[in-house]
Structure 1
Amino acid sequence: MDEKLWLRNQTWADVKPTGRPFDADAAYDIVAAIPIPIVEQEAAYSRGYPYEEAVTRALVDRFGIWVVGWHHSTHFGGPVEAWCCSSDSVTTVDETPDRVVDSLEEWREWLDELDEKFARLSPAPGASAEDREWAWERAVARLVTLVLDRTSCEAAWYGHCELVLRWYLESNDVEAGRAAEWVGEAIGGRFKSWVEPRLPVIDDVAERIAAHADR
C-alpha cells in the first residue's frame, strides 16, 4: 500500500475527528461499488491487499485521510475487531462491504474516544511546568492501559500504543518527530507482543515522557 496511506505516517492533526463528519450509509455505497477480487483459494492471503488499498483510497477521497486505520485489526495490534485479515475478511459481495463499514465505524469510535481522552487528560492552557509534567505522566499511564485493553495485548500492540502516545503529545503541541523520539526512547523496546507490561514499567515510561513537559 502507498506509504501516504500508512497509519503510522499520520499525525494527530490528520486523524483528529473534530470537524470531520462521517456517514456510514455513504461509506457503504462507496465500498459496495468496489469489485470483490475472485481468485484461487491458494492465493487467498494476497487477494485482499489490492482490495484494501482500493477501499482505503475511495474512502479517503470521500471522508479524508483519517479513515486509513479502518482495517487495523486487533489480530495485528490494532483497535478494530470487525476486520480480521484480508484472507478471512474479504469474502462475498454481500458480506464484505458490511464488514468494511463496521470496521470503519469501530475506527471512528476509537478516534472519538481518543479525542475525548486527550482533552480530559491534557494540562490546562498556561499550566506550569510542574502541572504539565503531572498531567502528562497521568495521561501516558492511562493511555497505555487503554490501548492494552483495546488491542487485547495482541501481536505488535505496542506499535499502536506508541502511535497513540505520539498523538497525545502532538495534541499538546509537540512536533511529531520529537514526540516519536521521546516515546521511542521512553519505551526502549520494553513493550512486547502478547505480553502485558508490569505496572512499574508503565510508570517508568510515563515518568520518562513526562520529564519532557517543561521543554
Structure 2
Amino acid sequence: MTSVVRLNRWAQVDPTPHPYDPAAALDGVRRLAPPVPPAAPAFPSLRPSDPVAWDAYQRACQQSLEWNTAMTEALVREYGPWASGWGMAPHATWDCWAPFVTSQDETVALVAEQLTRWRRWLEGAADRFGRLLPWLDAAAAAGPDDAVAAWEAAITELLTATVAWVEDDDGWQGRCHRVLTWLLTAAGLPEERSVTLVNQALGSRFDGWVRLSAADVADIAEHLARDVVGPRYGAFAGPGQGGDDWPDTWPDGWPSWRATNRARPHS
C-alpha cells in the first residue's frame, strides 16, 4: 500500500479518538474518491514480444498507484490517520500494485469494504490493548519477574489472535510484526527500539511460508518479553552453562534456540 505514513506506532492507528460509522462508509468514500482510471489492458504474457502492450500495462500500474495515494490522502483527511492502512485490512481483496478493472461504483464499494474491515481490526486491537496495557503496568510495578511473565502472556495472546485473523499461511509475518510493534509503542517504548526488538524476536527463521506453530509462538513470546523488560533479565544460559538440558520443542523444530545443551540453530 502506498500509505501516507509508516504504521509502526500505535498512536498512528489508534481508532479510539476518531468516530466512524460503517453504515455511512460507502457514501463517504463515494464522495471522496477520485475518478477511477481507465481499465488496464490484459497483462502481457510475453513482455519482449509485445512492448506496446507492456508499456500500456506499466502506465496503468502507475495510474493505479497514483489513484491509491490520492484515495488514501482523502481518507486520512476525512477519518484520521488510522485510515491510511485501509488497503492492509485482514482478508484483503485489494491489490494496490495491480491495476483494477472495475467501474467507479464497484471500486468505491470495495474501498469502503476494505476501510471498514481495517477499522474493525483496529478496534479489536484497541480492545486488547485496553485490557493488556494496565496489566503490564501493574506487573512492571511488581518487579521484573512479574513483568517478564506478563509480557510473555500478552505477546502470546496477540500472536495467537493475529495468526487466527490471517487466512493464508503466507500472510502472518507482516501482521505479527505490526501488532507486536504497536503493543510496544503503546506501552511507551520508542518506535525505533520497538521495531528492532520485534525484528530480532521474529527473526529470519520465521520467514518460511508456513503458519506459526505453538512452539514458535512460545519462543517469540519468551524472547521478546525478556528483551522488553531489559537485557539484565533477558540472558538465557548458553550451551554448557546448565539449565534445561533438553530441547524445548521436541520433536517439532528440534532443537530449540532455548536448549542449553547444544548450539543454537539461529542467532
Shorter-chain TM-score bucket reads: 0.7 to 0.9
Aligned to 2:83: 67
Report the CA distance between 1:49 and its aligned residue: 1.8
- Asked whether the equivalents of residues 141 and 206 of structure 1 are also in contact (C-alpha less than 8 Å), the reply is yes
For residues 162 and 35 of structure 1, what CA distance do their matches in structure 2 show? 34
Report the CA distance between 1:195 and its aligned residue: 0.3
Percentage identity across paired residues of the two chains:
32
For residues 124 and 143 of structure 1, what CA distance do their matches in structure 2 show? 14
Q: Which has the higher helix share?
A: 1
Aligned to 1:76: none
Query: Are 2:215 and 1:209 aligned?
Result: no
Query: Are 2:9 and 1:11 aligned?
Result: yes
- Any unmatched runs of 5+ in structure 2? 43-56, 231-267
Report the CA distance between 1:18 and its aligned residue: 1.2
Report the CA distance between 1:210 and its aligned residue: 0.8
Q: What aligned pairs does 1:155-174 form with structure 2 within 5 A after superposition?
A: 155-174=170-189
For residues 22 and 193 of structure 1, what CA distance do their matches in structure 2 show? 37
- TM superposition score normalised by structure 1: 0.84
Report the CA distance between 1:154 and its aligned residue: 4.1
For residues 18 and 55 of structure 1, what CA distance do their matches in structure 2 show? 22
Q: Which has the larger displacement, 160-169 or 183-192?
A: 183-192
The structure whose Rg is larger is 2
Counterpart pick for 2:26 among 28, 31, 37: 28
- Asked whether the equivalents of residues 13 and 122 of structure 2 are also in contact (C-alpha less than 8 Å), the reply is yes
Q: Residues 92-128 of structure 1: CA distance to partner in whole angstroms, max 9, x if unpaired? A: 1221111111110000000000011122233253432
For residues 181 and 15 of structure 2, what CA distance do their matches in structure 1 show? 16
Counterpart pick for 1:103 among 108, 114, 123: 114
Structure with more relative contact order (C-alpha pairs < 8 Å, separation 6 or more): 1
Report the CA distance between 1:90 and its aligned residue: 5.4
Q: C-alpha root-mean-square deviation of aligned residues, in Å?
A: 2.4
For residues 155 and 89 of structure 1, what CA distance do their matches in structure 2 show? 23
- Asked whether the equivalents of residues 186 and 205 of structure 1 are also in contact (C-alpha less than 8 Å), the reply is yes
Q: Which amino acid aligns with 2:132?
A: L
For residues 37 and 193 of structure 1, what CA distance do their matches in structure 2 show? 36
- TM superposition score normalised by structure 2: 0.69
Report the CA distance between 1:131 and its aligned residue: 2.3
- Asked whether the equivalents of residues 153 and 194 of structure 1 are also in contact (C-alpha less than 8 Å), the reply is no
- Asked whether the equivalents of residues 40 and 101 of structure 2 are also in contact (C-alpha less than 8 Å), the reply is no
Counterpart pick for 2:94 among 84, 104, 107: 84
Counterpart pick for 2:202 among 182, 187, 194: 187
Q: Residues 12-69 of structure 1: CA distance to partner in whole angstroms, max 9, x if unpaired? A: 0111111211234654344324201104413287142222111101001111111111
For residues 89 and 21 of structure 1, what CA distance do their matches in structure 2 show? 30
Report the CA distance between 1:182 and its aligned residue: 1.0
- Any unmatched runs of 5+ in structure 1? 74-78
- Asked whether the equivalents of residues 27 and 59 of structure 1 are also in contact (C-alpha less than 8 Å), the reply is no
For residues 13 and 131 of structure 1, what CA distance do their matches in structure 2 show? 26
Q: What aligned pairs does 1:26-65 form with structure 2 within 5 A after superposition?
A: 27-33=25-31, 34-42=34-42, 43=57, 46=61, 47-65=63-81
